[in-house]
Structure 1
Amino acid sequence: MTTENTNPAAHGLLRGIDNAAFVTSFVARLRRAGIRVGLTEAQSFSRAMAVSSFADDFETGGPRTRLYWTARVTLVDTYVDLAAFDSVFAAVFEDAVFSLDPPSRRQNPASAAEDRNVTLPAAEGEDEDDTGLPWATLPTVTGIGPDSDSPLSMPERRPSDQVSFADTPFEDFDAGDLRRLDQSLRAALRDWPRRKSRRLRKQARGRRIAMRQTTARARHTGWETVTLIRHGAVIKDRRLVMLCDVSQSMQPYVTAYLHFMRAATLVADGEVFAFATSLTRLTPVLKHKSPEAAIDEASATVGDRFGGTRIASNLRALLRSHHGNAVRGSVFIIASDGWDSEPPQELSAQMARLRRRAHRIIWLNPRAAEPGFVPLVGAMAAALPYCDEFLPAHNVTALDEAIASIGNSR
């Protein structure tokens, strides 16, 4: 019978195999036979298998002939290697008739299940255990022992350290995790939102004509306007201002948030503040080159950490200070669980003032990740109507989502 044009894995020939595993195994046998096959040749063979048509009649052995020439053209570039190549190809495919005959496999499902990983006859000079090829499925996943020389062995798949690190709660971080967090945050904050300022700068493709500069240039051409000077808005990074709660209820997350604040000061030139019962500016402290020294100095600077919480009073103090001008047009981040000792009405009033100044307000609440969380705390409920985003930031994955949200603050 004939089949439609497609790659060999879609038909009886090499049906269901893993293409990369088959190419790797076949190339390994060629190398053991003394044929020099590089990675480029192996890649060419893999690509040729994906695009070649194996639509010949299965009864005449056409697919095997097509595979032979595909492998020979892509893997052999020296005439003296042809004899060795023919020997290896014959050893691999001469007795593999069942794989070229799909009807016979469909007639006997039991035998098909038994032959999912076919063991071929060993070539001359090879061990019996090294001749298997992954015909129907991937080979069994086994760990590679220290004394194992089998080219068909596959490493045992284990969970990635990065995945484990990303899903670990901040309260379970050790010193090594915190160093990795610092590097990860600094890399993630590279893509920072930008905005047009009101300042104008000379630009060759500016949309506006700079009348003063154009007139001054015309003085040298008899007041004839020969050259138009154009200008456009200056593009600058959008300012980030972060206010972090360091009270007792936020103790498990403070160190991780301080690393986030340090990355914001180094990469985004942000203004960062910590608060519990009073407000403390940490921007100059967190610019230290050493992460450990910066965090230790910041912890020593905040004298009221792990105490009570006064969100509204500290927000008022920030907006009234000369640092309040940095809030205008900024991305303002508040990291707090919303537990406040002051009346919710005061926080609502300060959030309304903040809403008129900031470009975007993002509230990070690590408690929001808990199952069944509902923002019923008075302060949290009063602040939510003024927030653009309300996000949990209890681990690295959630913090990355928060950074992505900051990146969308155009």
Structure 2
Amino acid sequence: MPAHTPLDIPDDPKLAQNIIHFARALRSAGLPVGPGRVIDAIRAVEAAGFTERRDFYWTLHACFVNRPEHRIVFAQIFRLYWRDPRFLEHMMSMLLPAIRGVQEEQKANAAEKRAAEALLQGVEQGLPDPVPEETGSEIEIDASLTMSAEERLRTLDFEQMSTEEVARAKRMLARLELPVKPLKSRRTRIDLQGHRVAWRRTMRNSMRQGGEIYDIALKKRQQRWPNLVVLCDISGSMSQYSRVILHFLHAVSNAKGADWAKVHAFTFGTRLTNITRHLRHRDVDAALAAAGAEAQDWEGGTRIGSCLHTFNRDWSRRVMGQGAVVLLITDGLDRDDPVALEKEIERLHLSARRLIWLNPLLRWDGFAPKAQGIRTMLPHVDSFRAGHSIASLEDLADVISRPEDVGEKARLLQLIAE
């Protein structure tokens, strides 16, 4: 059998062109693929060559994939794209029916959906419009009982959303509000509709009138709004959820006439990062880009205990005054010392007016607190709720307004006791 020589890319321009289009599909699916990586991929294939499909796969994989979460998307796009690498037009004509089939599957995973959309983007624009078929009669469909697209999107898991659905979800989250009931302060102010007598003001007025009391001054307690403190996990297991939830936090931070006194946002993975000032930018893209540049531990590991220790030591007294409500957004998968974690979560609970834990893992039926981090933190939160969809974030307003709402905490604590 004759030996195979490396493929000469300049003599095979169609393969180089296909690699360029393949890189565009990867970029549309969310992979950070720039012109430099495309050139490196072409040179790598030219230098290494390939004798079989597997060699070609791993050559491109080494050039385009640098994060573990990108492997699935890359594998799906490669499987769909390189079915017929002879030339682009014939390949796309064979590929489109297969991609549509993937998109129409109700249980298709998010990687397949993003891969299919990335390949279809810009391809169907050049296809001719289908010729309408002549129909003999008009069929009417009663869709009164069907779920609308917006209603379906409200209950859809963030991790299962396609690229288009994520964009629509972000627009819906930008319209959400998170109202809160005001708190009664110990301080009072003079008010004609008050229910308590302001004796000092009454006596002061009587001294101006020779000691006679003609009017009784009334007062009532002032109202104030609490602070909202958000601790959002941005580790690898939470990356898809945290990116969408940060859009929601940006909307809450910049809402007109917001009820919250101040909104403080922190991200944590292997270290704690304060992104409060970045979320104050009106433009959501600029705000999240600045927050991403500030937080250097995106999609990394998780050290909840040490991050809570940093927050309690450096930030608790600054942002937790006057009855702050704390939202802890994490899956609880932590490898820190459970004793230290319990100490820090207990201190956070004692400092907060209410500590609400949003956990995306609660979306699963029959969820059980098997992880050590979840078992450690659960007794020290006021409410344990799911945080995997738009509907779960909409329920936050009721959860904050009802101190007796504990979510799934009671049931899970019973499981731990058993």
Match of 2:385 in 1: 391
2-side partners of 1:146 and 1:166: how far apart? 37
1-side partners of 2:163 and 2:218: how far apart? 53
CA 1:156 to 1:398, structure 2 compared with 1: closer, same or farther past 3 Å?
closer
CA 1:190 to 1:334, structure 2 compared with 1: closer, same or farther past 3 Å?
closer
2:395 to 387, 398, 401: 401
Residue 219 of structure 1: how far off its partner (Å): 3.0
Residues 136-185 of structure 1, C-alpha deviations (whole Å, 9 max, x = no match): xxxxxxxxx999999x9777555412112112211244666556545544
Match of 2:61 in 1: none
CA 1:369 to 1:322, structure 2 compared with 1: closer, same or farther past 3 Å?
closer
Equivalent AA in structure 2 for residue 373 of structure 1: F
Residue 374 of structure 1: how far off its partner (Å): 1.0
Runs of 4+ in structure 1 off by over 6 angstroms are 145-150, 152-155
CA 1:385 to 1:180, structure 2 compared with 1: closer, same or farther past 3 Å?
same
Residues 167-210 of structure 1, C-alpha deviations (whole Å, 9 max, x = no match): 22112446665565455445543531221122222222223222
**2:336 aligned with 1:342:** yes
Write the mapping of 1:300-379 to structure 2, written as runs, cut at 5 A. Answer: 300-328=293-321, 329-379=323-373
The answer to whether the Cα contact below 8 Å between 2:178 and 2:397 also exists between their aligned partners in 1 is no
SS of aligned partner of 2:395: helix
1-side partners of 2:393 and 2:134: how far apart? 40
Match of 2:270 in 1: 277
Equivalent AA in structure 1 for residue 343 of structure 2: A
**CA RMSD, 1 decimal:** 2.9
The answer to whether the Cα contact below 8 Å between 1:310 and 1:341 also exists between their aligned partners in 2 is yes
**2:203 aligned with 1:210:** no
Task: Give structure 1 stretches of 5+ with no counterpart.
Answer: 1-144
Residues 259-315 of structure 1, C-alpha deviations (whole Å, 9 max, x = no match): 222233233332111011111111111121122222222122211111111111111
TM-score under structure 1 normalisation? Answer: 0.58
Match of 2:249 in 1: 261
Equivalent AA in structure 1 for residue 400 of structure 2: I
2-side partners of 1:252 and 1:166: how far apart? 16
2-side partners of 1:154 and 1:393: how far apart? 35
**2:158 aligned with 1:170:** yes
CA 1:250 to 1:233, structure 2 compared with 1: closer, same or farther past 3 Å?
same
CA 1:322 to 1:243, structure 2 compared with 1: closer, same or farther past 3 Å?
closer
SS of aligned partner of 2:214: coil
- Count of residues in correspondence between the two structures: 265
2-side partners of 1:193 and 1:186: how far apart? 21
SS of aligned partner of 2:326: strand
Task: Give structure 2 stretches of 5+ with no counterpart.
Answer: 1-132, 405-418
Match of 2:214 in 1: 226
SS of aligned partner of 1:362: strand
Residues 88-147 of structure 1, C-alpha deviations (whole Å, 9 max, x = no match): xxxxxxxxxxxxxxxxxxxxxxxxxxxxxxxxxxxxxxxxxxxxxxxxxxxxxxxxx999
2-side partners of 1:148 and 1:238: how far apart? 65
Match of 1:200 in 2: 188
Greater gyration radius:
1
Match of 1:235 in 2: 223
2-side partners of 1:174 and 1:166: how far apart? 14
**Percent of paired sites with the same residue:** 29
1-side partners of 2:173 and 2:191: how far apart? 34
SS of aligned partner of 1:221: coil
